[in-house]
């Protein structure tokens, strides 16, 4: 059977070949899932769809949460403290949060990438560093760069990627996890201490990563193997 992966879409203004407003997802995510033998089903982030989240998640084999703009700090009990917070779209926050919470409740496999790991953490009660400049000397040290990542022995992600030091890990973020949700455990960090992966303590396979494995999955089997393991779980 082909695994059907629910991927909440993003509102966008850049689509061609459609009439009027549009929504989309990142092609690299769908391609990595396709290489693993799955298929992505994109659902528009609409207020009307919130009433159908249970059916959407239960009828899917797994959930993928992609990257994107920042989460509204009010969702983790803070006010916006810096002008570097950008790209807040309330319905993205609301819909993705609802999808993640339902996936966890139903114990569906989840792969949450970049913004996705942040959505996962906030949805389960954690908080974020609004900007890495709050905790690092160079606020852009994780912005469009490659750096080492250390995976914890015995973690789901280390098993999936068959290594504790994945190659070609592309970072493209200015926020990161701060207070980790009680039901999550840290399974990877960068050399500077920034959290790079978490897993759910009780669910069968719920994994969040801060970097972008989809960016290099076409050339790096190490990065593709994360999607392979996710789809296999689905």
Catalytic residues: 114, 212, 214
Rounded CA gap, 215 and 207, in Å? 18
Report the 10 Å Cβ neighbour count for 168.
Answer: 15
164: which 2 tokens? 């504790």
Q: Is 35 exposed, middle or buried (0-12, 13-18, 19+ CB in 10 A)?
A: middle
Answer whether 145's CB lies under 8 Å from 174's CB.
no
For residue 7, what are its two tokens?
């991927």
Strand partners, 177: 128
């Amino acid at each position: 059977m082909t695994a059907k992966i629910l991927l909440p879409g993003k509102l966008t203004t850049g689509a061609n070949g459609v009439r009027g407003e549009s929504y989309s997802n990142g092609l690299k995510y769908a391609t990595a899932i396709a290489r693993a033998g799955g298929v992505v089903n994109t659902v528009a982030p609409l207020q009307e769809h919130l009433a159908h989240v249970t059916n959407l998640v239960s009828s899917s084999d797994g959930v993928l949460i992609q990257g994107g703009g920042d989460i509204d700090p009010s969702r983790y009990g803070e006010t916006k403290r810096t002008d570097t917070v950008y790209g807040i779209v309330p319905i993205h926050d609301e819909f993705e949060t609802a999808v993640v919470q339902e996936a966890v409740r139903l114990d569906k496999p989840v792969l949450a990438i970049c913004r996705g790991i942040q959505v996962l953490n906030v949805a389960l009660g954690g908080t974020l560093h609004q900007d890495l400049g709050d905790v690092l000397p160079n606020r852009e040290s994780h912005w469009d760069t490659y750096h080492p990542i250390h995976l914890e022995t015995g973690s789901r992600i280390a098993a999936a990627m068959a290594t504790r030091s994945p190659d070609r890990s592309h970072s493209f973020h200015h926020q990161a996890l701060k207070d980790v949700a009680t039901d999550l455990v840290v399974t990877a960090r960068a050399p500077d201490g920034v959290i790079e992966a978490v897993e759910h303590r009780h669910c069968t396979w719920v994994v969040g990563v801060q970097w972008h494995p989809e960016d290099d999955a076409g050339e790096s089997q190490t990065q593709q193997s994360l999607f392979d393991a996710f789809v296999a779980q689905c």
